[in-house]
Chain A
């Protein structure tokens, strides 16, 4: 099973990189871009016989322990068979 973890800054936390990207896109003529947020994608290959619920619980624990800093970041977990 594969787990895809999306980590990004929480809404309201300033993302200067996202702002720089949005500004540059605007300068390049992509006027429809109102704002941009930059995040990370972490792909985990999970071994063993975990069912989806157990896998999600384990990955959530990984997020809380290491993968995200929940003071500033939120995360979303996507499981692929």
Chain B
């Protein structure tokens, strides 16, 4: 699997993502600076990593969502390439319109950083098939703005279309309908607040995030 990680000023999970991708796919990803005007040819997966792109100026993901690399990212998604947005990456994908809704300040106003129990909600997607039969996983969260918001019609469409990938057990941030991660309409784009790249085994503890990458390796 050929992958790339987009790096913005203020990204801080780009190297975690790179280690996870290399560990899980056996191939180091291309690290792509956000000002690049194109992505390498033949990519299967682009990861938009976590962090604080542009210092969260204006709104989380607002500046990054208008970076030069976003047009090629949209083209990649449109032609059916996989996109995984994690944490700030999820916020950025919402800003670009690749995913619906928005991530707002946590209802508690607190930054939340802890292992989080999740329920894989749609185990037949390219990102979640490895979780079939798994009722609960633990994947770390670390965010201040993870409170997912969308209007009722959008939430109904997400649920009706099997596009909620993960839900929180004990909602940590006020997200609508306990949503922790959602899929695009064509199922090729996943945005999620929890960090699967921090849960692939090893010193950080926990390996429940491996399923996201294992699912992708088994996907078309």
Contacts and interface: CB of A to CB of B under 8 A. Distances in A.
A45 to B, nearest CB: 17
A13 B104 CA distance: 10
Interface string B136-156: 000000000001011100000
Contacts of A16: 105-109, 174
Interface residues of A, number: 13
B59 interface: yes
B66 A13 contact: no
A20 B62 CA distance: 25
Interface string B146-174: 01011100000000000000000000001
Contacts of A20: 109
A66 B94 CA distance: 13
B102 interface: yes
A71 B58 contact: no
A67 B104 CA distance: 15
Contacts of B107: 14, 16
A17 B144 CA distance: 13
A66 B109 contact: no
Contacts of A65: 66
Specify which of A40, A66, A71 lies most central, judged by the most chain B CB atoms within 10 Å of its CB.
A71
Interface size of B as a range: 20 to 34
B123 to A, nearest CB: 28
Given A16-B109, A20-B109, A69 B150 contact: no
Interface string A1-40: 0000000010001101100100000000000000000001
Interface in B67-125: 94-95, 100-102, 104-109
B59 A69 contact: yes
B150 A71 contact: yes
Contacts of B58: 40, 66-67
A13 B105 contact: no
Closest 8 CB pairs of A and B: A71-B102, A72-B102, A16-B109, A16-B107, A69-B102, A72-B149, A69-B59, A66-B66
Interface of A: 9, 13-14, 16-17, 20, 40, 65-67, 69, 71-72
